[in-house]
Amino acid sequence: MSDISTNNLNRRDILNRGLALAAGVTALGPRRLLGDALEDGVRWAFLSDTHIAKEPDRRSWGFYSYLNLQEIVSCIESDLPDGLVITGDLARRNGRIRAYDNLKTLLTPITEKRPVCLAIGNHDDRDDFFQTFVSRAAEERPVESRHIVTVDAGPVRLLVLDTLYHVNRVAGLLGRPQCDWLEALLHVSDEKATILCLHHTPKIDLLDTGRFFDIIGPMTKVKAVVYGHSHKYEFSQYKGIHLINLPATAFSFSHRQPVGWVEAQLTAKGGRFTLHAIGGNRQHSERTETLRWRA
């Protein structure tokens, strides 16, 4: 594990390691000048828990995850956003190269035209993920053995973090090196509205939630945390930081929850989040939640 800390990184080191388009974006999409997006806002797609298996016809909880993602990709492709984030549990159960190959194929219509940022969840295998998706050398990673993506997207900055602790176990962990890197980055970066994307549910399954909130609580530039893991769609807050729990694209655990994805219109002052449900409970499909960022 890298022992990156606030004390041993100067501003240039942190910016070089953090604020360029990271390996995940370059590997999964064209290098676009995202900072030149429209000043009044950008549009991004947020997905989670795709759970793609080695076998495309695999059925789970009454759903076919491969067909679900295929349908969602087709929908997104018909009106391409500026980019796409998937917040982990990319693969089914414990991550395998064949599963990631299937995911890569499904995402191709988008990755050929837009950046796609992938987070890692507890059902992913970091080595197999790296082998399939990440082409840059390991020394270019901001934190050793962690998959982190940073994107300046017009009026907002997206930071995609890595919370995989043990494969196929529930709990997640950012870890000290990643927390130190995040704290240092937030201290030296500008005041652009920042959205953190990760897999595990804060307060519940993220073991170092306390440290995480200690870092981001005082940083008013952090406006929202977007995550998955629970297969629920809901909004809450922590000290003015919006906590946005994405629905799963693969399957739901409850008939009360939707299966689908979220379209986000993001500006420097807030965001509009629209649910697109393709299965499960569709009662609130196309409903939009309007959030105002804390000052």
The confidence score (pLDDT) of residue 142 equals: 86
pLDDT at position 1 is 28
Tokens of 55: 């076998």
- Tell me what pLDDT residue 135 has: 62
pLDDT number for residue 103: 97
For the packed helices 97-111 and 65-78, what is the interaxial angle rounded to 10 degrees?
20
pLDDT the model gives residue 92: 87
Kindly state the average pLDDT of the residues 186-192.
Answer: 96
pLDDT, residue 60, reads: 75
> Sign of torsion, CA 253 254 255 256?
negative
- The predicted pLDDT at position 219 comes to 98
pLDDT band at 102 (very low <50, low <70, confident <90, very high): very high
Please tell me the predicted confidence (pLDDT) of residue 187. Answer: 97
pTM exceeds 0.85, yes or no: yes
Question: What is the per-residue pLDDT for 127?
Answer: 92
CB-based burial, 183-213: b 16+ in 10 Å, e otherwise: bbbbebbeebbbbbbbbbbbeebbebbebbb
**Cα separation values, 30 from 1, 24, 108, 111, Å:** 30, 11, 12, 7
CATH topology of domain 6-292: Purple Acid Phosphatase; chain A, domain 2 (3.60.21)
| pLDDT for position 93 | 81
- Per residue in 219-266, pLDDT (tens digit) is 999 999 999 999 999 999 999 999 999 999 999 999 999 999 999 999
Query: What is the structure's pLDDT at 29?
Result: 54
Instruction: Tell me the pLDDT tens digit for each residue of 140-178.
Output: 678 988 999 999 999 999 999 999 999 989 999 999 999
**146 neighbors 138 (Cβ within 8 angstroms):** no
The CA-atom distances, in angstroms, between 266 and each of 20, 102, 179, 199 are 20, 30, 25, 20
What is the C-alpha end-to-end distance of the chain, expressed in Å?
36
At 43-88, the pLDDT tens digits run: 999 999 999 999 888 787 678 999 999 999 999 999 999 999 999 9
Q: What is the pLDDT of residue 61?
A: 67
Over residues 85-104, the mean pLDDT reads: 92
- In the structure, what pLDDT confidence band is assigned to residue 95 with cuts at 50, 70 and 90? confident
> Is the pLDDT assigned to residue 27 strictly greater than 90?
no
Amino acid at residue number 150: T
Average pLDDT over residues 16-20: 39
> Higher-confidence residue: 127 or 25?
127
pLDDT at 100: 96
CA distance 58 to 231: 18
% of the chain residues with pLDDT over 70: 84
Mean pLDDT of the chain: 87
Q: Rounded to whole angstroms, how far apart are CA atoms 49 and 90?
A: 6
Given a cut of 50, whether residue 23 has pLDDT beyond it is no
